[in-house]
């Protein structure tokens, strides 16, 4: 995982040198759980893996589509994945007739 301290150091160095840290997002298939996830690779050499986000490939492909080309900090990726999981959960509840009444 990306450490917050290391990420802050990388960002400070990048700002000083005006270097952009690029993130690459890759779809992975979890062999042990059978679901799909993502691997994040930074141009600084760090990697993070989020396994078994969903058993449906298209759900993870949608997350990758949203992340593609975005300018986000690596420290926020875990939050983005959790928010997306929450969205998938509520989407499934709604599809099965368990909508939330206001």
* Three-class HEC string of the chain: CCCHHHHHHHHHHHHHHCCCCCEEEEEEECCCCCCEEEEEEECCCCEEEEEEEECCHHHHHHHHHHHCCCCCCHHHHHHHHHHHHHHHHHHHHHHCCCCCCC
102 within domain boundaries: no
100 within domain boundaries: no
> What is the reported pLDDT for 13?
63
> What is the reported pLDDT for 46?
87
41 within domain boundaries: yes
Tell me whether strands 36-42 and 23-29 are parallel, antiparallel or unpaired: antiparallel
Q: Nearest to residue 29, comparing CAs of 6, 8, 57?
A: 57
34 within domain boundaries: yes
Per-residue pLDDT of the chain in tens (102 residues, 90 and over written 9): 555 666 677 666 655 554 556 888 999 998 777 899 999 998 888 899 998 899 999 999 999 999 987 778 778 888 999 999 999 988 888 877 776 555
> What is the reported pLDDT for 102?
52
63 within domain boundaries: yes
pTM: 0.70
20 within domain boundaries: yes
**Structural domain harbouring 84:** 4-95
36 within domain boundaries: yes
101 within domain boundaries: no
Helix axes 57-67, 77-95, angle to 10 degrees: 140
Number of domains in the chain: 1
């Amino acid at each position: 995982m990306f450490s917050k301290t290391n990420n802050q150091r990388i960002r400070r160095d990048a700002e000083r040198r005006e270097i952009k840290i690029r993130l690459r997002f890759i779809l992975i298939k979890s062999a042990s759980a059978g679901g799909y996830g993502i691997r994040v690779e930074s141009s600084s050499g760090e990697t993070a893996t989020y396994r078994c986000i969903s058993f449906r490939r298209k759900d993870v492909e949608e997350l990758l589509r949203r992340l593609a080309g975005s300018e986000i900090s690596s420290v926020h990726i875990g939050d983005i994945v959790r928010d997306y999981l929450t969205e998938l959960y509520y989407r499934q509840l709604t599809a099965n007739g368990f909508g939330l009444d206001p």
